[in-house]
Structure 1
């Protein structure tokens, strides 16, 4: 999940408990991608890492039967509250990705996982950073979803996952392709860095994810070092 770029909620105003990821630009981008799919009554959707439940609520409003999963109890409680607030029937489970729904399969799997590269290889176990820190390359959770999601998809099922280009779009496409899925980038958006990414510019340069470390002259909002590309990955099981 993007660390701190603000945007309207995908499903209107939602409540978020402290430490729970609030809907932002990546949420909206993924919600728009869901709208372009054939989601309606009779469609089964799995939302992995639901956070506030914004995407689960959005899919339910499209008519889907929705199961939402998160590893954090505060997120589970938040998503359940928001489902009631928006008068949507959603099953919200606590668990580690697809381990929460063993043996079940879905027409769509949606995910806005943690994907921000972090100076620490160790993933946080509590607090707000748990929603975005994803190891030194930002792929600690993305790779797990790439490996787990294909088994949760029915024939013809689709994975929609949003993440930052900072954690390597091509690596995601390759990993999903090797799992036998047909992959593409369904959407892209450039958004400004928020406080977390701005604070990590030096680290990101040293990792080769931004411009040359010596080029720190342009700090304007529109410079390459102040903009993050978000991508929605679409992968279909044929």
Structure 2
């Protein structure tokens, strides 16, 4: 089987999801050149950052970070498009490893108890086959030495796609879309809520307010990207 896999990779070499060039053996999904070209935020190394300002006065946060800056037609958009719509689920795990390695070096990220992903509705999960932030959250938890659970926050009501909505339309999100279950798992804990992208912040704000129903909960957020 290994010989057959080697033959397939020789005939159909794995390509970088950003630029399409053939990957070297040690490269995963993203070539080294594109890794250096991707617009990282470095928010987790800063006491104050732009992501925090998105949520000022909206929800109480311990801290927040995003890995990349997202603009239309930039490399981050292409990467997330591959993840969400081209069945490149492995990107989620790669980005979890990337951010996880960096968060291990900052003091504020060493006190998490559990990582929780923003959930997909069951219908959307069946259609896509995976939650695009699950691998991201799982590998963050692995690097940070805490647990991961997708059994706490549930999306009960499907929502229309956000792709073609403007910012004001995205901000109109009903709180009954999500439900808290297994509350005892997060009571008195520091939660890291993870998602793919911060645009208006409405989805994360809604999920945060649901999670904050649990007693004595501390909340931080990590995402793959943020629009600036």
- Structure index of larger Rg: 2
Q: Which has the higher helix share?
A: 2
Structure with a larger share of its residues in strand: 1
- TM-score, normalised to structure 2's length? 0.30
- TM-score (norm. length: structure 1): 0.29
